[in-house]
């Protein structure tokens, strides 16, 4: 994580397959700065022994936006009906302050790194 990125500002646990066991932990860093964007969400995985580690997966918003991607995180439901929980990520300052909500679809043991909406 980058100094000043507010790593850990938001946390979200995800049970991808609805088996009552946490599969993923999402950790936001909404002020993580890159030349063409602001904000990242780091994905950590849990194994059967309840140990977790960084999966190597990082979720990001649209390049060219300084929207504080990751300011809010939620995993409310299986939005696309494929049997896996999906994730919502907010970027309140995107689109000149109008804000955006990204939908990332869940899958077998992972989150798709490309947003669906």
Tell me the per-residue pLDDT of 76-116, one tens digit each, with 9 for 90 and over.
Answer: 999 999 999 999 999 999 988 899 999 999 998 899 999 99
SS3 at position 96: helix
pTM score of the predicted model: 0.91
Distances (CA, A) of 56 to 18, 44, 64, 95, 117: 23, 8, 23, 28, 23
Tell me the per-residue pLDDT of 14-47, one tens digit each, with 9 for 90 and over.
Answer: 999 999 988 999 999 999 998 888 999 999 998 7
């Amino acid at each position: 994580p980058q100094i000043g990125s507010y790593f850990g500002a938001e946390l979200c646990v995800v049970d991808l397959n609805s088996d009552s066991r946490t599969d993923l932990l999402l950790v936001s860093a909404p002020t993580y700065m890159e030349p063409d964007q602001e904000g990242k969400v780091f994905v950590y995985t849990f194994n059967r022994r309840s140990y977790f580690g960084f999966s190597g997966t990082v979720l990001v918003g649209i390049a060219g936006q300084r929207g504080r991607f990751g300011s809010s995180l939620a995993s409310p439901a299986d939005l696309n009906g494929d049997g896996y929980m999906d994730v919502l990520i907010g970027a309140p300052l995107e689109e000149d302050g109008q804000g955006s909500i990204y939908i990332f679809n869940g899958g077998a043991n992972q989150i798709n790194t490309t947003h669906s909406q």
